[in-house]
Amino acid sequence: MPQTAFECLELEEMVARLAKYHPADDAHLVEKAYHFAREVHEGQVRSSGEPYFSHPAHVASILTELMLDARTIAAGLLHDTVEDGEGITIEVINREFGDDIAQMVDGVTKLGRLDFSDREEQQAESLRKMILAMGKDIRVVLIKLADRLHNMRTLSFKPRDRQVAIARETLDIYAPIAHRLGVYTIKQEIEDLALRYIDPEIYHEIARKVGMKRVEREAQIATVIGTLSGKLEEMGVKNFSIEGRPKHLYSIYRKMVIQNIHFEEIYDLIAVRVLVDSVPECYTVLGAVHTLWNQVPGRFKDYISMPKNNMYQSIHTTLIGGRSIPTPFEVQIRTYEMHRVAEYGIAAHWKYKEGGNSGELDKKLYWLRQILDWQSETRDSKEFMDGLKTDLFSEEVFIFTPKGDIINMQRGATPLDFAYRIHSQVGNACIGAKVNGKLVPLDTELVTGDRVEIMTSSSSKGPSMDWLNVVKTQQARAKIRQFFRRELHGENVQKGRDILENEAKRRGVKLGDLTKPEYIETILKRYTFPDLEAIYGAVGYGGLTSAYVISKLLEEHNRTEKSAVQQKAPTLPEPQTILRQGKPTKGIYVDGDAGMLVRFGHCCNPVPGDEIVGFITRGRGVTVHKSDCLNAVNAEKERLVGVSWAQEEAGAFNASIRVVAYDRPGLLGEITVFVTDMGTPVTAVSGKVNRNGTCSIHMVIQVNSKDQLRKTVANLQKRSDVLEAYRSVS
């Protein structure tokens, strides 16, 4: 189990700690929030059996360790009162504690009262809400990180499936956010805890191996510290500190997986950290280190001269020490101030009551502004989650402008991404690019050190739809879509209407039947669209997929019309009362006739587990439809008959699925193999490349149950290159 970096403080201890680093701050505000939250949560208990108030108290303790201001600590104490307190609203918090605390509490409050189709959509929109709140006040995410840290510490009391889901979300979203903000003291602990629940076996195996060589490792670290201390004293370096640097388990796991190496091959299990007063002394220490031991080639990084985007500064060098220290070891060198920033990141720079340097803060948080830019153009929840993970996880490259300014870009970015990073107008007017003085294609991948010059033309007509296939960053993609949405509004509306009509027709319905005001209301409210024309326009410029829109409209149609369908359909016997004489035909029992010919409707392709109804077809026996299939709903009542699935193994059934994914060479074959590897035979497959850089794939697969079909679609939806996957008609 990783060491706990933060303890839970009583109210008096919180106030005392706050007084040490913010002596002029309002301690009474913390006291008021403490008593208010404790009263709201009175009688509530957590899964562990502890009083619920222990959670916000732990969160506030973590925030004091990060040395945040009284208003942030108060918001931490109050962060669950709206979500879990009876009669407590944001308006109540605003009245009692002020607007900025209310905004912070609102920013970390989940969306739980809106109509979401599934848990994933609710999660995506709650995260979107938090990202927007971060744009207004970065303290929101510091509260959320403290909240997630304590939840991870108490995760053992959750059911196994929730443990894995929460741990996976932590690794996918919250650990990368902590990394982006430079809050390594939280990042490392939540990563170790997440690994413990996602892969307990490997977690305990790594912990065991780390523990086995602890005595040997500590002896070698002591040798390094003793030798280096003597050298620095000899050189006249004052007020230095050298200590062993613990390696957290998840970083070991990552190296083993990414580099495909064994535990014994990891270099920096032995590591020391040297802290000094000034930057010149850092380089003095570096010289001493390289004098004492041999440097491992390719294992030197200077983050002081070129800091990471999250403010991290340090020198890293890996060395070999000879017979006394036969194992390669790492030395990190930084100032005391750099170390504080490395531990607490953005929180170390946060002087909210003093105002701080807003311009410098904006530079540190440029990645957040990028997310805020593109998220407004991304309507689909899954696309938002994929884009968010990409932006948070992506490594960076450092690119030079012609004037020598450094621009940090996502690894894999192209000159076209660079153009849009400079300004939307530069990107829209781009006609070519030079990298290191040479003309290059716009899809060239940039690497650290490249000097990029963008060529523009005032006569340019703007971006091409093909550019959506070229750019790699969500920011550039959003700006291109923004251009098409704004400049080609009328064309997009017509195009979107045509696309939706084709999609509706493919599903066996008319678009006009689905665009009634009561059906479109959910989408209008969900995306704050003013009218149906805005939906057409969003589909036209690629902001929404046609599959998503038609699926939502069909859901609303079916929900609204359900009572009418039930009145129209005949009263059929319950499946368990159907006479089951002789053997079933194709896995189907037909009411009152054991030998009747049975076939399945190609319009809906029912599979075991679906609710079904039979339709007597002249000369062809009974055709089985899903009970909500429009062909069955509109059939003559007297020709409908009760049918039920046989309990025994009924064989394989055809089912149609649609996949919308980012287009690239080999995609069709890769998706086919992916589905087949799940034990789901593919009997037919076809694909069509769309103009917006996506590919629509139609597959006919064989399944033995609705549950198998659902799992196949769910696994497809988890792929990062898949936008939509759903069951469809043929």
**What tokens were used for 305?**
């001269």
Task: Identify the pLDDT of residue 668.
Answer: 84
Q: Are strands 241-244 and 315-320 parallel, antiparallel or unpaired?
A: unpaired
Task: Identify the pLDDT of residue 135.
Answer: 60
- Is the pLDDT score of 126 beyond 80? no
Average pLDDT, the chain: 78
Q: Greater confidence, 610 or 93?
A: 93
Task: Identify the pLDDT of residue 4.
Answer: 43
Task: Identify the pLDDT of residue 267.
Answer: 64
Three-class DSSP category at 315: strand
Characterise 613 by phi-psi region: left (phi > 0), alpha (psi -120 to 50), beta (else).
Answer: beta
**Would you mind telling me the total number of residues written for the chain in this entry?**
730
Average pLDDT of the segment spanning 11-34: 86
- Is the pLDDT score of 113 beyond 50? no
Q: How confident is the model at residue 370 (pLDDT cuts 50, 70, 90)?
A: low
Instruction: Spell out the long-range contacts of 663-667 with Cβ–Cβ below 8 A and sequence spacing 24 or more.
Output: 663/469, 663/689, 663/690, 663/693, 663/694, 663/695, 664/721, 667/695, 667/697, 667/721
- Is the pLDDT score of 382 beyond 60? no
Domain positions in the chain = 11-197, 208-347, 366-486, 488-568, 575-645, 653-728
Q: Is the dihedral of CA 357, 360, 362, 367 positive or negative?
A: negative
Average pLDDT of the segment spanning 573-588: 55
Distance CA 62, CA 527 (A): 36
86 contacts: CB under 8 Å, gap ≥ 6: none
Q: Is the dihedral of CA 215, 221, 222, 224 positive or negative?
A: positive
- Maximum CA extent, the chain: 103
Contact criterion met (CB below 8 Å) for 470 and 414: yes
Give 491-510 as a DSSP string.
Answer: HHHHHHHHHHHHHHHHTTS-
Any catalytic annotation for residue 498? no
Residue where the block lists tokens 């002596």: 23
Q: 208-347 is classed in which CATH architecture?
A: 2-Layer Sandwich (3.30)
Distance CA 419, CA 465 (A): 16
The DSSP output letter for 219 is: H
Q: How confident is the model at residue 76 (pLDDT cuts 50, 70, 90)?
A: very high
- Is the pLDDT score of 216 beyond 80? no
- Is the pLDDT score of 31 beyond 80? yes
Q: How many CA atoms lie within 13 A of 265 on its CB side?
A: 10
**What tokens were used for 4?**
């706990």
Assess if CATH 1.10.3210.10 describes domain 11-197.
Answer: yes
Contact criterion met (CB below 8 Å) for 630 and 508: yes
Contact criterion met (CB below 8 Å) for 80 and 41: yes
Distance CA 424, CA 426 (A): 5
Q: Which stretch of 380-384, 432-436, 627-631, 667-671 has the lowest confidence by average pLDDT?
A: 380-384
Residue range 647-670, pLDDT digits in tens = 655 677 888 888 877 777 778 888
Q: What's the CATH superfamily of 653-728?
A: ACT domain (3.30.70.260)
Average pLDDT of the segment spanning 664-684: 84
Any catalytic annotation for residue 445? no
Task: Identify the pLDDT of residue 56.
Answer: 92
Distance CA 301, CA 288 (A): 16
Residue where the block lists tokens 């939806």: 717
Distance CA 535, CA 159 (A): 40
Distance CA 196, CA 201 (A): 8
**What tokens were used for 630?**
């429009």
Domain 366-486 fold: Ubiquitin-like (UB roll) (3.10.20)
Residue range 546-574, pLDDT digits in tens = 877 887 788 777 777 654 444 444 444 44
Contact criterion met (CB below 8 Å) for 32 and 87: no
Rg over alpha carbons for the chain, rounded to the nearest Å, is 30
Residue range 478-496, pLDDT digits in tens = 788 778 777 767 777 888 8
Residue range 279-302, pLDDT digits in tens = 999 999 999 999 999 888 888 889
Three-class DSSP category at 404: coil
Distance CA 696, CA 700 (A): 14
Average pLDDT of the segment spanning 173-179: 82
Which residue out of 26, 31, 84, 302 is catalytically annotated? 84
Q: What percent of the chain has pLDDT over 90?
A: 13
- Closest to 146 (Cα-Cα) out of 217, 201, 78: 78
* Residues linked to residue 687 through DSSP beta bridges, in sequence order: 697
- Is the pLDDT score of 156 beyond 70? yes
The DSSP output letter for 263 is: G
Q: How confident is the model at residue 9 (pLDDT cuts 50, 70, 90)?
A: low
49 contacts: CB under 8 Å, gap ≥ 6: 157
- Is the pLDDT score of 412 beyond 60? yes
Task: Identify the pLDDT of residue 284.
Answer: 94
**What tokens were used for 608?**
């075991």
Q: How many CA atoms lie within 13 A of 192 on its CB side?
A: 20
Residue where the block lists tokens 């004052």: 238
188 contacts: CB under 8 Å, gap ≥ 6: 2, 248, 250, 251
259 contacts: CB under 8 Å, gap ≥ 6: none
707 contacts: CB under 8 Å, gap ≥ 6: 609
- Closest to 333 (Cα-Cα) out of 391, 272, 387: 272
- Closest to 162 (Cα-Cα) out of 117, 198, 210, 202: 198
Instruction: Spell out the long-range contacts of 24-30 with Cβ–Cβ below 8 A and sequence spacing 24 or more.
Output: 24/353, 25/69, 25/70, 25/353, 26/70, 26/71, 27/70, 29/70, 29/71, 29/74, 29/97, 30/60, 30/70, 30/73, 30/74, 30/77
Residue range 48-57, pLDDT digits in tens = 788 888 999 9
Which residue out of 13, 39, 42, 83 is catalytically annotated? 83
Q: How confident is the model at residue 152 (pLDDT cuts 50, 70, 90)?
A: very high
Give 70-103 as a DSSP string.
Answer: HHHHHHHHHTTHHHHSTT--HHHHHHHH-HHHHH
**What tokens were used for 343?**
């531990």
